[in-house]
Amino acid sequence: MMKIESINQWNVHASRPLIMAGPCSAETEEQLYETTKAIKAQGVSLIRAGVWKPRTRPGSFEGIGQQALQWIQDIKKELNVQFAVEVANAMHVEEALHYGIDVLWVGARSTVSPFIVQEIADALKGCDVPVLVKNPINPDLALWIGAFERLAQAGLTKLGAIHRGFSTYQKTRFRNVPMWQLPIELKRQMPELPIICDPSHITGKRDMVAEISQVAMDLNFDGLIIETHRDPENAWSDASQQITPAVLGELIKNLQIRNPSSLDIEYITHLEDLRTQIDHADREMMEIISSRMDMVAQIGEWKKKNNVAAFQLDRWNEVFDSRKSWGESLNLRKKFVVELFNLLHVESIHKQTEVMDNAESENETESGLKINK
């Protein structure tokens, strides 16, 4: 079992939700100082800053490096704030710790590489610093969990996840699609692990940052990491997604913070009531699916008797179209109805081919459609 300490034990200046804010990159000493001072004035004193920047293509700004760590050390003293920095190899870890960085994070491009994560974990052996791990750029939960396991094996206990969305080649309104089911599944598998949302890298657009921050609060995330810059338009990296410290202050003020749970008796009884109704609805739904499968089996028998193939394209198109419009009138999203009926269709074909094959010779080869066997 992995030992994971709650955020309260992390020795960071933060309460729930944990808010971290700061520029994508440390650019100049003045930019970092002024941005930090303005963020602190909004009540946030855990500052993020990229010191080494992983860039997709060479030639863009790749971070200031060690010199920025010196600025951070000075600003920490001067403004009484704490800093979080991304590390991507053993040398980064050594330097960041040497300059007294309070929190480290592993970037999305590093989480995909077990070699890099292991190198970072080895360099951190025996340290007590909080380490946050961003999700890998591809939606692979095992890779994300593997990173926590490597860090835990190195003795780290102040661990947290950062959900920054997943890369996609499709055009969407997000820079990195959130796929909320992944961080939720991570929480299910590792309930002790705090999860922080990074709405800046999910959206890629400053106008959408507040909206996604609120979604994260509604889903009971433990905190937010928000790219904030005193002059976002002229930032040296990720200019389109950074917000000003004043906008950050507004965003925090407007956040609706939900309780993880409530002990209120009225709340509990009503919730129990609704959950019982859902249990009944699910039971009925499964009974209906089961009788639908019986009908499918009967059709299978009938088709077999008349030597007709299990799959008829026209009928399938008709089913699909009618269900989509039924769904619409029932207020069900089209995408959901399509996925649901695809699943039912695959299972129905499976059922029919089973019925049609069964009566035939036992040695018959399996039909390619029996994919779920």
Contacting residues toward ligand PEP, per CB under 6 A: 24, 50, 54, 107-109, 134, 164, 201
Count of chain residues binding Mn ion (CB under 5 A): 2
Angle at 329 between CA 324 and CA 330, to 5 degrees: 90
**Which residue is closest to Mn ion by CB?**
24
d(CA 259, CA 252): 16
Strand partners, 197: 163, 224
| Helix (H) or strand (E) run with residue 105 in it | strand 103-106
| Helix (H) or strand (E) run with residue 111 in it | helix 108-111
Closer CB to ligand PEP, 18 or 310, in the complex: 18
CB of 201 to ligand PEP, least distance (A): 4
d(CA 318, CA 341): 12
Tokens standing for residue 244: 């000003």
CB of 335 to ligand PEP, least distance (A): 26
Q: Provide CB contacts within 8 A for 341, sequence distance 6+.
A: 319, 320, 323
| Residue 238 binds to Mn ion (criterion: CB under 5 A) | yes
**Which residue is closest to ligand PEP by CB?**
107
Closer CB to ligand PEP, 109 or 303, in the complex: 109
Q: 7-46: which residues touch Mn ion (CB under 5 A)?
A: 24
CB of 113 to ligand PEP, least distance (A): 12
Closer CB to ligand PEP, 111 or 348, in the complex: 111
d(CA 238, CA 150): 30
* Cα end-to-end span (Å), the chain: 34
Residue 101 contact partner, candidates ligand PEP, Mn ion, none, CB within 5 to 8 A by sort of partner: none
Question: CB 362: neighbour CB atoms within 10 A?
Answer: 6
Residue 187 contact partner, candidates Mn ion, ligand PEP, none, CB within 5 to 8 A by sort of partner: none
CB of 45 to ligand PEP, least distance (A): 19
CB of 52 to ligand PEP, least distance (A): 10
CB of 41 to Mn ion, least distance (A): 22
d(CA 49, CA 24): 6
Q: 73-132: which residues touch Mn ion (CB under 5 A)?
A: none
Contact positions toward Mn ion, by CB under 5 A? 24, 238
